[in-house]
Structure 1
């Protein structure tokens, strides 16, 4: 696998999982802290624990067996980030081989590219967080970012100003630094 392709690779099952995950988290409303999830292959979970079949894919259990189901099951990691800064908390995470991927849901304030060009330089003495928070073009967003061991990456993003399930955007590379930090948790 080529690194360039892996870093930008997209996986339809991952995309669907992230959209579902963002919608799940959205039911708890806005102003939440970061939430971390392990992504496990649903079929492998059911094979290991057949009693989970109805809970993981209740609409797809058939008399003849299991029909199509979502590819990944999200398992929330309680207590994350445990009072640490997000980058520090992610740097301390490592997953066992049974985990196929990881997902993180965070809320942030973002600026459009033209507004970012106006930002004061580091070291200017301006509190950048306060500057961004006060900017008239700021957008509050909830981002679900996910990575898989095969290098696939994707994001689902909801603007607070367009807070509806059918307004969730998705695509790889929306938050590349966060994608990379999350990918590091899957490396040995």
Structure 2
């Protein structure tokens, strides 16, 4: 008897959303997605069935629906604090780009925030990364991390809790 492969709908939706974001390149603002059960979406919007492939119609499949027109804000915390999802939304995902530097790079930074950001951006060991965090109302999460320097080989690190603070913040938007 052949074992059936384990398919995690959240992982598939997160990977699809990350590939969608990656297709637009780097230096993007934060991008937010509602995650909805594909079967429920098709019940409300049957005309979308023609755009989906067989894999998209699997049991418990999720569809990522990008939320356009996010308000411009300098603070991710402020943005997430303004978000509440209706019951029809089963989860959400957020893609953000960040600079990662070694811990020693954060010593002796200028006091003025703009100068500190400039110093970090100019650091020779900095890494540009894109983080996509996806969460569901049941508490499950999936985090994906792509480094700009490995963009061409499509290498994406995957974990359940690579960004615990962002996982918690997105869960809070589902509880509001």
TM-score over 0.5 (shorter chain): yes
What is the root-mean-square deviation in Å for CA atoms of aligned residues? 2.4
After TM superposition, where is structure 1 displaced by more than 4 Å over at least 4 residues in a row? none
Contact 1:23 1:165 in 2 (8 A): no
Query: CA distance change for structure 1 residues 96 and 27 in 2, over 3 Å: closer, same or farther?
Result: same
TM-score normalised by length of structure 1: 0.79
- The separation in 2 between residues aligned to 1:44 and 1:179, in whole angstroms, is 25
TM-score normalised by length of structure 2: 0.84
Aligned pairs for 1:1-188 within 5 A: 12-55=8-51, 57=52, 59-60=53-54, 68=58, 71-111=61-101, 115-120=102-107, 125=111, 127-164=115-152, 166-188=154-176
- The separation in 1 between residues aligned to 2:57 and 2:171, in whole angstroms, is 31
Unaligned runs of 5+ in 2: 1-6
Q: Deviations over 1:18-43 (max 9, x none)?
A: 11111111111111101111000011
Please state how far the C-alpha of 1:17 moved relative to its aligned partner: 1.2
Query: CA distance change for structure 1 residues 67 and 145 in 2, over 3 Å: closer, same or farther?
Result: closer
Unaligned runs of 5+ in 1: 1-10
Structure with larger RCO (C-alpha < 8 A, sep 6+):
1
